[in-house]
Amino acid sequence: MTEGNFVDYIKLHLKSGNGGKGSAHLRREKYIPKGGPDGGDGGRGGHVIFKANKDLWTLFHLKFKRHIKATHGEHGSKQTSTGADGEDQYIEVPLGTVFRDTDTNEVIKEMTEHDEEYIVVEGGMGGKGNAHFKSSTNQTPRFAQPGIPGQEKDITLELKLLADVGLVGFPNAGKSTLLSVITAAKPKIANYEFTTLKPNLGIVQYRDYKTFVVADIPGIIEGAAEGKGLGYRFLRHIERNSTLLFLIPADAPSVKEQYEILLDELRRYNPELLDKSRVIAISKADLLDDELKTELAEEIEDAFDGIPHVFISSVAQQGLQPLKDLLWKTLNEDKHKVEN
The C-alpha atoms of residue 98 and residue 265 are separated, in whole angstroms, by 23
Identify the three-state secondary structure at position 216: strand
The C-alpha atoms of residue 104 and residue 174 are separated, in whole angstroms, by 40
Other beta carbons less than 10 A from residue 227's beta carbon:
10
* CA distances (Å), origin 281, targets 62, 115, 253, 257: 37, 37, 16, 15
Known binder of ligand: residue 286?
yes
For the sheet with 277-283, list strands across it. Answer: 200-205, 211-216, 165-168, 243-249, 277-283, 309-311
Known binder of ligand: residue 82?
no
Backbone angles phi, psi at 9, to 5 degrees: -150, 125
Known binder of ligand: residue 20?
no
Known binder of ligand: residue 171?
yes
Known binder of ligand: residue 225?
no
Known binder of ligand: residue 196?
yes
The C-alpha atoms of residue 290 and residue 13 are separated, in whole angstroms, by 60
Known binder of ligand: residue 16?
no
Known binder of ligand: residue 143?
no
Known binder of ligand: residue 183?
no
Known binder of ligand: residue 211?
no
Known binder of ligand: residue 242?
no
Our measurement of the distance from residue 107's CA atom to the centroid of its chain's CA atoms, rounded to an integer in Å, reads 13
Known binder of ligand: residue 293?
no
The C-alpha atoms of residue 26 and residue 39 are separated, in whole angstroms, by 7
Known binder of ligand: residue 135?
no
Known binder of ligand: residue 153?
no
Known binder of ligand: residue 322?
no
Environment class of residue 136 by beta-carbon count within 10 Å: exposed (0-12), middle (13-18) or buried (19+)?
exposed
Known binder of ligand: residue 219?
yes
Known binder of ligand: residue 256?
no
Known binder of ligand: residue 77?
no
Known binder of ligand: residue 71?
no
Binding residues: 169-176, 194-198, 216-219, 283-286, 313-315
Annotated binding site for Mg(2+): 176, 196
**Binding site feature residues for GTP:** 169-176, 194-198, 216-219, 283-286, 313-315
